[in-house]
Structures are given as C-alpha cells and as structure tokens.
Amino acid sequence: MRNVVLATALSFALVGCVSTRIHGTPPSAAPAPTTTPAAQDAPPADDMLNATVWYQTALERDLVYRTVYRAAAQRLPAALADKTWDALPKEDRTGSVKGLKPAIIVDVDETVLDNAPSTVRAIREQREFNEAAWGQWVSERKAKPLAGSVEFLDAAAKQGVTVFYITNRDASLAADTIANLRSAGFPVAKDTQVLGLGTVVDGCEQEGSEKSCRRQLVGRTHRVLMQFGDQVGDFVQVQANTPEGRAAAVAPYTAWIGERWFVLPNPMYGSWEPALFDNNWRQPQGARRAAKEAALDDAR
C-alpha cells in the first residue's frame, strides 16, 4: 500500500529497509585494499536494492502471500456466519452492522498488485520516487497479481462478498487502476468499488492520505469481514507516524491479526521508513540512511 500522499512526501517513497552494512576485519586479516578502479566505477549504494531483489526473486515472498490468503479463506466461513463480525476499528464504525451486506477491504499496491518493476526502474535510473514515473508505470497497466490474492477474492465474491479496493493512488489514476485490476482477474463489478485518494466522503474530513473516511464510507453500507494491507494505515488511523505511534495504533487490535486483519510484507517502501527520520524527506539521503542505521539493534 502506498500510504502517504506525495504532498506530504510520505507516500510512494520506494525505499527499502536495508541499510549499509559495515563489516569488521578479523585481527589476523590483511589490511583492507585501497579502492580499485572497478570499485570507483560501481554505482552508489542504493537502499532499495536488497529489498527489491528479495521482493522480486525470493520464493519465500510468494509463500508468505499464499499463507496469508489461505489463512483468510479458512476464516471466511466463520466471518460470514457471525452477523456481528466486523473488522473496522471502532473509530471507523459509525453505526450498527445489523442487516448490512458483507464486504472485504483490500489495499492495492503490494497487497494485491505487484509494482516492484516500478522500483526496479528507479534503481536502474539511480533516482528516488517521482510522480511522473509512477504515473507512467500505472498507465502501462502491467502490475501482476500477488500470489493467492485473485483466488481468495474471487472465491469471496462468489459467496456474495463485495470487495472494496481502498488505495492511495490518486483519483486521476482510477481508470488505469481499475483496468489493471480487472485484467489481472480481480472481482471489480463496479468502478465504485475502487476508492482512491481524493474520494469525497460526506460528513468526514480527509486527513492527508489516511484511509479512515473511505473505510467509514464502506462501513455505512457493509459489514466488513476482513481487511488486507501492507501498512498499518491500511487498517487503522495512525495519529503519530513514529515507531511508538504506529505500535499504539495497532495495540487495541492485536487479537484481530490473522483473524480479521491480514498483513502482507513490503520491505521496499512504506510509512515505517520516514517514521525513523522524523517524516522529513527533505533531509539528504545520507542523513536518512544514518537515521535508519541508528535504529538498528545489534543486541550489545
């Protein structure tokens, strides 16, 4: 999920979770050689590289996704049978669930659609995220479904569950997003099932890229059985994007993890990263990397 608007520079920042590693030299080892011409010609360190290589090539990624969606399929009958079952956080549930039709809410990016090729382009071009390049990627409609996602959501739709796709893709990208979802095989009977950034919700004031208003909109007409996402903000509103604030937002709902809330892995980007450097993308890349290294724990 892309969880932060570009205006606040918290979303779409495609930066991985791997920092520069510093290896010590054993006492008996020879002194490290001076920099060679080949090393001088090497591209600069890129925080996105290892995370993106894992995301694109590791079999384990697909196994994790299949595990999550298979676990959700096993929980779905109980969620459908229990007419009081609801996966919305209390601040997003504005009325009774009695008599409401069942629904599932999913994020789009890195939850059901794989956008790693967009990150690969940034790595090869030695740049960070930018809006124009992201828009170009979305317009190509090439994102593939992530393992297990189509099968699960299609099976849910066949049981009368409406799937809502709440995404922080801008509303201007809606047509391409809907077309990509449909071509990938996802159940999108109506365009209104895709709620992008900029969706107007009467009686609810949007706060940045938070999804609370859109969750409330779904909750007005549907009982939400499950939520899926790769970011904390896909499930609940985060009042303070700090490590402590993110943990506090989830704390009341930890019993729902793996039952009503299903979290997917995304080491490439997310609000977890700027939480480590005061949400300030204006800092030089070196300062941001230093903050991430400082957050590491070597258990000493």
Q: Residue 1's pLDDT is what?
A: 55
Q: Residue 32's pLDDT is what?
A: 52
On whether the CB atoms of residues 76 and 104 are closer than 8 A, the answer is: no
Taking residues 63-73, report their average pLDDT. Answer: 98
Q: Residue 10's pLDDT is what?
A: 36
Taking residues 142-163, report their average pLDDT. Answer: 98
The CATH number of 6-18+46-294 is 3.40.50.1000
Q: Residue 17's pLDDT is what?
A: 37
171-207 pLDDT tens trace: 899 999 999 999 999 999 999 999 999 999 999 988 8
Return the domain boundaries, the chain: 6-18+46-294
Q: Residue 158's pLDDT is what?
A: 98
Taking residues 52-78, report their average pLDDT. Answer: 98
Q: How far apart are CA 164 and CA 227, in angstroms?
A: 10
